[in-house]
Structure formats: C-alpha cells, structure tokens
Amino acid sequence: MASTPPAPRRTFPEALRSRSDEHLVALLLQRPDLATPSPSTLRSLAARATSRTSLDRAITRLDALELQVLESVLVLGDLAPAPRATTPRGRRAPNPSHPGDDAGSTVTVDRVLDALGAGPADAPVVRAAVAHLEEAALLWDRDPSPGTDLAVSPGLSEVLGPYPAGLGPADPSSPLSPAPTGEPPVPLDEILADAPPGARSILDALTWGPPVGVAPRADPVGREATTWLLRRRLLLASDERHVVLPREVALALRGGRTHARPLAHPPEPESPHFADDTIAAEAARAAQDVVRLVAHLLALWQASPPPVLRAGGLGVRDLRRLATTLEVEEPTAAFVAELALAAGLVADDGEDPPSFTVTVAGEDWLDLPLTGRWAVLAAAWAASGRTPWTVGSRDDRGTLRAALEPDLSRPWVRRLRLDLLSALADRPGAALTSGDLLEILRWGSPRAVPPVQAIEGLLHEAHLLGATGVGALAPTGRALLLPDGAAPVAGTGSPVASHRPGRVAGPAGPVPSALESALATALDSVLPPEVDDLLLQGDLTGIVPGRPSTALERLLEDAAEVESRGAAITVRFTPESLTRAFDAGRSAEDLLAELAAHSRTPLPQPLDYLVRDTARRHGRLRVGTASSYVRAEDPALLTGLVEDPSLRHLSLFRIAPTVLVALVPAATLQAALRDRGLASTVEGPDGRVVRTERLRSAARSRTGGRRPLDTATRGRSDVGPGWATEDATVADEAARRDRYAELVPRLRAADDAALAAPPVSATHPDVPPEPRGTTEPPAALGLLRDAIDAGDHVVLETIDPTGQPVRRRVKPLVLEGGRLRALDPARDAELTVAVHRIAGVFTDAPAPAQDAPADSPSGAPSES
C-alpha cells in the first residue's frame, strides 16, 4: 500500500490567515503596533508582523522563559536529526538544503521541553509560554495537518542575534554531524580521548556561551590545544585571534540542552518580612506626612509664589528654600513640588513675570478631609510620567535638571511603576530592596532592563507617598494597583491565559472619581482613629494624644508650632503662631472658644493672656497688593473712574483723594485709560516718565524664549531603547478590542477578494500573465522570509546602479543586516543584494527571458 505523501508546509501568511477572528483580535491586542496604521489585507498584516521594528517591540516585553523558548525553537529548527535508531539523543546535524525535511525533524513542544531540561513541574508553565508566543505570532505552526511543527516568526532570527542561547554557528563539516549514508557520528568523548592537555578546558569554557574566545599566543600548552581543536573542527577560526565553538559541539557538550536550566519562574529574593500591622502603620504615617508637606507648600507659595525659570522649572535657590521651610532634604522637596504639579494644585500662571501659583483646584484641595487629599495625590502619582529623582543631575547636553521643568517627563515611567507595584504585590509582607526588584524585573523583561536609578527613585516615591511601609506593599499601594478591587488578571483577555505569575494586565481602570474613592477607603482602613482632644499645659504647650481630627489639625496648623510628631503630637503656642491664626480671620474670642472646645481642662491663664495680648497688637498696620496706580494733582480728574463699569476689570480703588491703585500692570492701566479718552503717561518708582515702548520691550525680554510648562510626555529618553519605546499611556482595552473586532473581518474580506481575483490573462488572452507578488517593501521582505523558510525560488527585481530594473530567479538564503544573500541557479553563484535596491518580489513570475550580462554591475555576484 502506497504511503500518503506528507502535506505541504504552509507559509507564515497562510498560517496567519488560518487563524480565527478571535485569535487575530488577540494578536492585535498583544501587538497593537500592527494595527497602527490599519493594514489593508492579512498579507500586509503578516508582512508588518515580521518587520524588524515590530519584532523588536514585541520581544521587549517577553520574560526570560519566553526568550528561552524562542531560542530553543530557533536552534532546533536549524537542526535535522540523524536516524533515530543510531543518533544519540540531542545530537543533531544541519541540513543546508532544506532544514527539517524529514518527519522526525519537526519541532514539537516535547522537543522544546527536552531542550530546556524542563521537569514535570515546569512543563505546564513552558506549554503556557509556547501558547502565549503562538498567540503573539512569534511562534507559528508550519504544518496544516493535526500535529505541531513549530517555527519562529520570519525575521526573528536576525532580532535574536547571531548566537541564540549562547550557541555558535552550525558547521556542516563537523565530525559530530551524521554522515549522508546514515552512519552515526563519532561520540565526542572518543574524539577527545587523545586530546592534548587543556583542550577539554577550552571547550568547557565556551560551552554555555558566549561561544567566541581569544586564541592564546603566549601559552604554549593553550596554543597547542587550540591548534588540535581547530584541525579536528571542534573549533572554528573566525579571524586571526578569535575562535568560535560550533553549534554541534556545544550541544554535545551540553548533553543536547539549549539552556542550563529553564527560567520558568521569577526569582524569589531572600528579604525580611513584616507584619501587616507594622506595614499599615508606616504607610499611614507617610501618607499623613506627604499631605502635610503639600499643604505647607501651598501655604508658602500662596504667600510668595516662586518665579519660573526662562527654560521652565523651579530655580535651585527656590528649591533649597522650599526644602528648608519644609524641613526635608532637597530630593524630597522636589518630589513634593512635582506631586503638587501632577495633581494640578500648582501651575505656571503665565503672567509677566511668570511664577508658580496655587490653582483653584489647590484651594479646593485644602478643604478636603485627610483621606480625600491623599487620594488626589496618589491618583496623580499613579498617572504621572515625571521623574523627580533626576532633579539635580545633568542631561546629555550638560544642563542641570530643575524641578518642575517640562523635560522631566518620560513615557516608560507608568509601566515601570506598575511593574514595581506588581512585583511587591506578588510577595506580601516582603521588604524588597531596589536590587531585589531589579533582579525580578530583569527576569520579566531581559531585553529591556530598567536603570537602577529609576527603580530606586520610584521605590523612594512609593515610600514617601505611603504606598509602601518598611519596603513592603501596603493596602494603600494595593489599591493603586487594583483600584476597582478586582482580582489579578492572568492575561490580556485573549483565549490563551498567560503563564506569567502575578502579571497584572493593564486595564484602563475606573474613572478618576472612583479611583480616588477607592484610595480614600484604603487609607481610611489603615489610619488610626481620630482624637478631638487637646491637652493644654501652663507652659504654653499642648499634646494631642493620637491622630488629630480635621478641625483640630487645621486649628493647630493656624495657631501653633509643632515641636514633635509620633504617637502623640506636641505643639507650642507663640506670638508668631497666634498671628497666623489672626491673619486667617479669627478674633481673640473666636480662637479662645475653639481652644476651649478641644481642651479637656480649663484654658491655662498664660495662654489666655498671650492670645489677648497678641490680638491687641495685631492689625495696627495694614498691607495690601497693587500692581499699578494712577495719580493726578486735580482730584476731579479721578472722579467717576472707580464707579465706571467699563473700567471694572481694572479693580480700581481709592487710597487717597489724588491716588487710585489697580491690580493690573501699568501698561494695561494706561491703555484702558487712553481708550476712555484720558491721556496718561507712565512713571517709574522715582517719578520720572518712562517711555511706553521701553516698558513693552522690557516685558518682551522677560518673557521671550520661555517655554510653557508642559507635563505631557516627550519622546526623549535617558535610558535604554526598550524603555524608550514603551507607550506613554495604557489604552482602553475594551475600546481597542471593539476596534480590532471591526478591523479583522475587513482584512479577511480584502484578503479573500485579492486571492479570488482572476489574473488579467484569464479575461484578456492577449495580455501577458501578471506575476503574483508585491512591490511594497514590507510585503516584499515578508515574501523573502517565507521563501527562505520554505526553500523556494522567487523572481527578484532589483534596481542596478544605472537605475534600470533587473529580474533574476533566485533562491533566498539569508536576510539579515539590511542585506539579502541568495543563490542564483543560472550562474551557480551567490549574490548579495542591499534591501534598499529590491524593487519587487514575485512568487510565480516567469523566468527572465534574458539575464543581465555577467560583466554588468547588476550582474555581479555581489552588490552593495
């Protein structure tokens, strides 16, 4: 009975086309760059999925296990096994003509498990990783019939680098390769039986990579051993000084394993653990402190707004003054200012000269309770892309970074913050250091490791905000990670669950009001109960035995100085502190009544005397604010200006019979008076007349060149390319899913229409047949990768140095580094073509009628 011929292997676009709509939507959810802008057909989608840019972005977020799986599939796919009866397990030999032609060469999940050395406990995690990679189209099945024949996405071998899994290039002439006659290769131990001293040590040093070493020169023993290994092709010479370990030899030394061990789980650092009560108490204390510091900043900047630098940002002296007033270090003061900016409590007023002033939202924030104020700050921190920890350092141009400057925004901060909180959430009660978190994040994204400075900065911010306590995640921080109270999601909502333990998906989260409500509830659960009692003493001090209520806290902020904080708060009443209370609008009787309402005992007589004596001296002199004035020798000229409705926007008021003051600049006041028909001149502080043109020129010089304060994300990045390519915001997954669900049927319909369209020659016999292919660069590269994978021939159209198109029928071999290596059967020679010279690729075009002449530039075996 004749055997059934094996089913032909399909190409990557065919495998992508065979997916269901649901799985195509899942692909776009994992790799949203494939749908921006929207492709025209599924073939165009496949070409985009194999582009270098998209593959780089896709593997940036892969964890260590997923990278191991990709490397194992790539290595196993390049090796064809010898006959099963005679070949030792794990020893494979390359087949340059068509890797993996025989049925035993297919890469299955079981072979991947063997190559990784995964045991029964790790097998489910590895299988989930394979499914996750297939969903992302980084792995695909070449066999349309039931079964598995895994292969990496076309173009991925170039992205993974020249030494996948630390293995060198394959050597078809290796003594470990099976002979064409089927004879088994000589075991490596037999070859090394007569090796000179030092030969095995050299091989052992290169076994687990990197496979490239420096050939010894001064050491006679090492030189002799290297020469012996080179003669027996157990080493290959890459140049005069370097040698490389062939892939077959390395796999034999590794026992057929591609990796020493599977990195199936994230590392678990040894760190101290703390009780939940301790963590909650520390977080509550930090939350109260940060709210107090922001409130003090608003009070300070309400009284004296700091100026904005010409390039934007807060000056060094103003930052130092803020730190002194808040009694904190300058980095902490920078974080407090950035937090107020992110929450919209302060902003650049855009005036002349500009300054940072308290906004209306900042004034409303002061009226909120403690939990509400902290919730606003925490929600703003979670959504912020600012990097306060870089304040005081220098950028690439050598410029000192200032607090609140526009260029402190980075697009990857939000993602890194989520990853840090997720790592802490996976280890309840563990106080992780920045080194521990770096180790965990390196496993989560080995190709995009964040800088240590960023991890330390965000960890310190979480501590100052009260999201963590003693280094462990507090309930307040868990509310930031899962604001809606939902359980962690194990993937992106796709049909295949993610294998990553504790990886939280990136939902958009609730609206800000719901998020702030959840944060306020979380903080309320860890705060100690409020107390409304004040123990007043005869030495003008008072003690609050616990956390003061909102009313008591505001009374003490206005009327007392805090001497110490802890389980109890000690305050002292001074003439200066009482003056603040009277400045806020309180009278002596009001203040005494409020103190008596909170005191358990009658008011001490010294405090009563101090309050009344300070009130008696308060307000003898009055100070106001005015930006300009208008004066005249004749009071009659000023009559009616204050009551004039057309001048109401000037806020004019009389301070003397011949003097009016206004809250607008002098130039604005002069223009308004001239519009009313009153000629006026502008005078300086010394009474001399100032020319209006000079006044306006000075105003322009003060504002010229200043950039507006912009907290939006900018493209510049000071870290590695992996983090620089991260999206600035997490898109709404539900909205994206709906968009992709509408896009996929359109792509499938366009693809079906293109495939069903008859060739022009079928309807017009006099027209020559049109070749099936493409002239679009991404699609052309996709066809070339398909041809390399299948070992097929294509017709390649290139542009020669004279600008003329030339077609050849070639067999593509390698596409990497911006160049295509292909075999030209007509000349029986290899040629190298730069990708930018390729004008089109056709899969079923007729052979060229006439080849280019051998001596022409386009017919040369190598092109640049």
User: Is the same domain home to 590 and 635?
Assistant: no
Look at residue 309 and tell me whether its pLDDT is greater than 60: yes
pLDDT at 180: 66
**Closest alpha carbon to 79 in 103, 51, 99:** 99
pLDDT band at 212 (very low <50, low <70, confident <90, very high): very high
Which amino acid would we find at residue 156? L
What CA–CA distance (Å, rounded) separates 472 from 282?
A: 10
Span of 138-147, 148-157, 443-452, 485-494 with lowest mean pLDDT: 485-494
The reported pLDDT for the residue numbered 587 is: 87
Residue ranges in 304-358 assigned as alpha helix (H) = 316-326, 330-342
pLDDT in tens, 668-678: 888 888 887 77
Domain region containing 561: 530-617
Euclidean distance between CA atoms 421 and 428, whole angstroms: 11
DSSP of 671-702: HHHHHTT----EE-TTS-EE-HHHHHHHHHHH
- Tell me, yes or no, whether 734 lies in a domain: no
Residue 770: the pLDDT is 52
- Joined together, the tokens standing for residue 584 give 């806020």
Distance CA 332, CA 330 (A): 5
pLDDT, tens digit, for every residue of 780-817? 877 787 788 777 888 888 888 888 888 888 988 888 77
d(CA 237, CA 215): 9
pLDDT band at 431 (very low <50, low <70, confident <90, very high): very high
Q: Predicted confidence band at 457 (pLDDT cuts at 50, 70, 90)?
A: very high
The answer to whether residues 202 and 82 belong to one domain is yes
| Residue 54 or 657, more confident | 54
Q: Does 565 score more than 60 pLDDT? A: yes
Q: How far apart are alpha carbons 200 and 182 in whole angstroms?
A: 28
Q: What gap in Å lies between CA 407 and CA 385, rounded to an integer?
A: 11
- Predicted pLDDT at 691: 54
What pLDDT score does 514 carry? 79
Q: Give the pLDDT confidence score for residue 846 in this predicted structure.
A: 53
With a cut of 70, say whether residue 92 has pLDDT above it.
no
Q: In what order do the strands lie in the sheet with 236-237?
A: 212-214, 242-244, 236-237
CB 76 within 8 A of CB 115: yes
CA atoms of 242 and 391, how far apart (whole Å):
45
Query: Which residues face 213 on adjacent strands?
Result: 243
H-helix or E-strand spanning residue 303: helix 276-303
| pLDDT greater than 80 at residue 680 | no
| Range scoring the smallest mean pLDDT among 104-108, 173-177, 458-462 | 104-108
Sign of the CA dihedral running 192, 197, 199, 202 = positive
Residue, of 304 and 862, whose pLDDT is higher: 304
Residues in CB range of 340: below 8 A, 6 or more apart: 294, 297, 298, 346, 362
pLDDT tens digit sequence for 393-423: 988 888 899 999 998 999 899 999 999 999 9
User: At 347, which helix (H) or strand (E)?
Assistant: strand 346-348
475 with 585, same domain: the answer is no
pLDDT at 118 over 50: yes
Q: What is the pLDDT of residue 863?
A: 45
Residue 219 lies in a domain: yes
SS3 state at 833 = strand
pLDDT at 240 (0 to 100):
83
In a domain, 459, yes or no: yes
Same-domain status, 84 and 184: yes
Task: Please check whether residue 372 is in contact with residue 516, taking contact to mean a CB–CB distance below 8 angstroms.
Answer: yes
| Dihedral angle computed from the Cα positions of residues 115, 118, 120 and 126, in that order, rounded to the nearest 10 degrees | -90
**More confident of the two residues 722 and 469:** 469
Cα 711–chain centre separation: 16
**Is the pLDDT score of 96 beyond 60?**
no
Is 728 within a domain?
A: no
- pTM greater than 0.85: no
Q: How far apart are CA 315 and CA 318, in angstroms?
A: 5
Query: How many helices (DSSP H) and strands (DSSP E) are in the chain?
Result: 32, 28
Same domain, 117 and 95: yes
pLDDT over 90 percentage in the chain: 36
CA distance 580 to 573: 11
pLDDT value of residue 263: 92
Domain boundary among 687, 703, 719: 703
Q: At residue 853, does pLDDT exceed 70?
A: no
The rounded distance, in Å, linking the Cα atoms of 771 and 785 is: 19
Q: In Å, how far from its chain's centre is CA 77?
A: 33
Given a cut of 90, whether residue 10 has pLDDT beyond it is no
The pLDDT of residue 635: 81
pLDDT digits (tens, 9 = 90+) for 742-780: 999 998 888 787 666 555 444 445 544 555 677 777 778
CA triple 100-103-107, angle to 5 deg: 55
**Cα 839 to Cα 787: distance, rounded to the nearest angstrom:** 17
Q: pLDDT-based confidence at 5, cuts 50/70/90?
A: low
Give me the pLDDT at residue 483, please.
45
Is there a single domain that holds both residue 520 and residue 537? no
Domain check: are 301 and 426 in the same one? yes
- Of the candidates 805, 682, 603, 489, the one whose C-alpha atom is nearest the C-alpha of residue 796 is 805
How far apart CA 684 and CA 825 sit, in angstroms, is: 90
- Give me the number of domains the chain comprises: 5
Phi-psi group of 619: left, alpha or beta (phi > 0 → left; psi -120 to 50 → alpha; rest → beta): left
CA–CA distances in Å: residue 723 to residues 162, 410, 414, 648, 863: 23, 9, 11, 54, 36
Tell me: do 241 and 288 sit in the same domain. Answer: no
Question: Which element (helix H / strand E) includes 829?
Answer: strand 829-834
| Token reading at 47 | 């070409």
SS3 at position 796: strand
Percent of the chain with pLDDT over 70: 81
Assess whether pLDDT exceeds 80 at residue 521: yes
Within a domain: 803: yes
Same domain flag for 597 and 642: no
In whole angstroms, give the CA distance from residue 290 to residue 376.
12
Residue 21 has pLDDT above 50, yes or no: yes
Give a yes or no: residue 38 inside a domain: no
pLDDT of 765: 52
Q: How sure is the predictor about 730, in pLDDT bands with cuts at 50, 70 and 90?
A: very low
Domain finish residue from 617, 637, 663: 617
Instruction: Write the DSSP string, 434-453.
Output: HHHHHHHHHHH-TTSPPPHH
Q: What is the DSSP letter of 409?
A: B
Q: Show the tokens assigned to 198.
A: 């030092």
Could you count the other beta carbons within 10 Å of the beta carbon of residue 516?
22
Residues 375 and 437 in one domain: yes
**Which structure tokens are listed for 770?**
């049109």
Cβ-proximal residues to 525 (8 Å cutoff; 6+ apart), any chain: 280, 475
Instruction: CATH number of the domain at 797, please.
Output: 2.30.30.100
**84 confidence band (pLDDT: 50, 70, 90):** very low
The pLDDT value recorded for residue 91 is 34
Q: Does some domain include residue 264?
A: no
- Give the pLDDT band (50/70/90) at residue 720: very low
**What average pLDDT does the segment 808-836 reach?**
85
User: Model confidence over 489-509: pLDDT tens digits?
Assistant: 333 333 333 455 443 333 333
Query: Within a 13 Å sphere around the CA of 184, how many CA atoms are in the beta-carbon half?
Result: 12
pLDDT at 6: 52
DSSP β-bridge partners for residue 810: 794
Contact 673, 642 (CB under 8 A): no
- pLDDT reported for residue 657: 83
Same domain membership, residue 134 and residue 55: yes
Categorize the per-residue pLDDT at 145 as very low, low, confident or very high, splitting at 50, 70 and 90: low
Domain boundary among 703, 731, 746: 703
What tens digit of pLDDT does each residue of 227-250 get? 999 999 999 998 888 999 999 999
Query: Is residue 211 located within the same domain as residue 290?
Result: no
Please report whether residue 495 resides in a domain: no
Say which residue, 176 or 487, is predicted with more confidence.
Answer: 176
| Average pLDDT of the chain to the nearest whole number | 80
